């Protein structure tokens, strides 16, 4: 399942859902949490059920962000949306892997009720939105069988720790958030799941988004959250290997495959070893 671009869509807006489907995003996340007012939660669940029931081929995967445990709405959300057509659930404000185990038990029962194969519904976790979560990031490895990716968030964490801002005057993250971002990246790498960077809030700043995505991909993230359809093209482009990078990666893989016993190989005067091979295989896999 490709998770290069994951676009948030308010679950109670048919208009925004219709537009999102044409965005080119790899995944749409129908949001039952922050973008839906408390009085509209039940209506939003019913709308998601209707969207899932529409029997149409989709070039994108269907995800739902549920409400976190402390709201008391988690099981109601899951009970409403776990049905054929659902590919995954985004779990906000998780405190660690124990929360994923708990949700996994719920999904086991709900998939059975819905006639779905066990393990159909995957999970992406927003792994850094509570203070205790920062000390439990290592708990996601080895990965739960449903875990497909980890991402991080800045807004809710700021409310928890009491930070007044999360960006410096130059637009870079302040020190606490740089730490959070890096730890999430390492946690996803340790669990061997998708490493999904957080959203870029200013959807009217395409140049800033592109620069941020280039830095994100450089650092090792494999995809990004989008909050507006106009962000998707930039995210997809930045998190896809260039033709030149893909061609070179294929050359490296082919050279090692031709001589499996070798640990180092020279191509065009440059030496490549096993870490280069691992990276090349990732690039080839990312290109599909």
Examine the domain organization and report whether 18 and 129 are in the same domain: yes
List the one residue out of 29, 39, 31, 14 whose CA is nearest residue 68. Answer: 31
Examine the domain organization and report whether 50 and 103 are in the same domain: yes
Examine the domain organization and report whether 34 and 130 are in the same domain: yes
Examine the domain organization and report whether 135 and 193 are in the same domain: yes
* pLDDT value at 102 more than 90: yes
Q: How far is CA 157 from CA 49, 135, 142, 189, 201, in A?
A: 31, 14, 25, 22, 15
The domain boundary, picked from 223, 240, 257, lies at 240
Arithmetic mean of pLDDT, 68-90: 97
Quick one: pLDDT at residue 166? 83
For residue 43, what are its two tokens? Answer: 């209506």
CB–CB of 188/194 below 8 Å? yes
Quick one: pLDDT at residue 29? 98
* pLDDT value at 288 more than 80: no
Beta strands (DSSP E) in 51-160 are: 61-65, 88-91, 122-126, 147-151
Beta strands (DSSP E) in 51-206 are: 61-65, 88-91, 122-126, 147-151, 194-197
**Each residue of 251-287: b (16+ CB within 10 Å) or e?**
ebbebbeeeeeeeebeeeeeebeeebbeebeebbebe
For residue 255, what are its two tokens? Answer: 């050279």
Task: Give residue-wise pLDDT tens across range 176-209.
Answer: 999 999 999 999 999 999 999 999 999 999 999 9
Q: How confident is the model at residue 113 (pLDDT cuts 50, 70, 90)?
A: very high
Quick one: pLDDT at residue 160? 85
Examine the domain organization and report whether 257 and 224 are in the same domain: no
Examine the domain organization and report whether 77 and 109 are in the same domain: yes
Quick one: pLDDT at residue 47? 96
**Each residue of 71-98: b (16+ CB within 10 Å) or e?**
eebbebbbebbbbebbbbbbbbbbbbbe
Examine the domain organization and report whether 248 and 126 are in the same domain: no
Examine the domain organization and report whether 78 and 102 are in the same domain: yes
What element of type H or E holds 266?
strand 264-267
CB count in 10 Å sphere of residue 159: 9
Examine the domain organization and report whether 182 and 255 are in the same domain: no
More confident residue, 210 or 241: 210
Q: What are phi and psi of 259, to 5 degrees?
A: -140, 75
**Domain region containing 150:** 5-240
Examine the domain organization and report whether 257 and 163 are in the same domain: no
Examine the domain organization and report whether 221 and 258 are in the same domain: no
Task: Give residue-wise pLDDT tens across range 3-49.
Answer: 999 999 999 999 999 999 999 999 999 999 999 999 999 999 999 99
The C-alpha atoms of residue 107 and residue 111 are separated, in whole angstroms, by 6
Structure-token match 């740089």, residue found: 178
Quick one: pLDDT at residue 275? 82
Examine the domain organization and report whether 234 and 257 are in the same domain: no
The C-alpha atoms of residue 225 and residue 203 are separated, in whole angstroms, by 12
Query: Strand 61-65 vs strand 88-91: parallel, antiparallel, or unpaired?
Result: parallel
* pLDDT value at 222 more than 90: yes
Counted domains in the chain: 2
């Amino acid at each position: 399942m490709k998770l290069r671009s994951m676009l948030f869509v308010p679950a109670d807006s048919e208009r925004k859902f219709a537009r999102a489907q044409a965005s080119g995003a790899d995944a749409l996340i129908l949001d039952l949490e922050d973008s839906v007012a408390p009085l509209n939660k039940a209506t939003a669940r019913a709308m998601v059920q209707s969207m899932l029931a529409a029997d149409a081929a989709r070039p994108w995967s269907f995800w739902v962000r549920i409400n976190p445990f402390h709201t008391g709405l988690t099981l109601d959300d899951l009970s409403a949306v776990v049905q054929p057509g659902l590919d995954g659930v985004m779990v906000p404000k998780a405190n660690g892997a124990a929360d994923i185990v708990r949700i996994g038990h719920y999904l086991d029962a709900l998939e059975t009720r819905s006639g779905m194969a066990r393990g159909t519904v995957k999970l992406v976790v927003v792994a850094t939105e509570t203070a205790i979560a920062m000390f439990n990031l290592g708990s996601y490895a080895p990965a739960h069988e449903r875990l497909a990716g980890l991402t991080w968030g800045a807004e809710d964490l700021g409310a928890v720790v009491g930070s007044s801002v999360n960006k410096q005057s130059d637009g870079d993250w302040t020190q606490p958030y740089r730490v959070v971002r890096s730890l999430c990246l390492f946690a996803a790498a340790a669990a061997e799941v998708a490493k999904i960077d957080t959203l870029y809030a200013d959807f009217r700043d395409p140049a800033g988004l592109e620069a941020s995505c280039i830095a994100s991909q450089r650092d090792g993230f494999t995809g990004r959250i989008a909050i507006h359809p106009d962000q998707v093209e930039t995210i997809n482009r930045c998190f896809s290997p260039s033709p030149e990078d893909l061609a070179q990666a294929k050359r490296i893989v082919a050279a090692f495959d031709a001589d499996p016993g070798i640990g180092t190989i020279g191509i065009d005067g440059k030496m490549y070893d096993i870490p280069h091979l691992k990276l090349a295989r990732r690039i080839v896999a990312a290109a599909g």
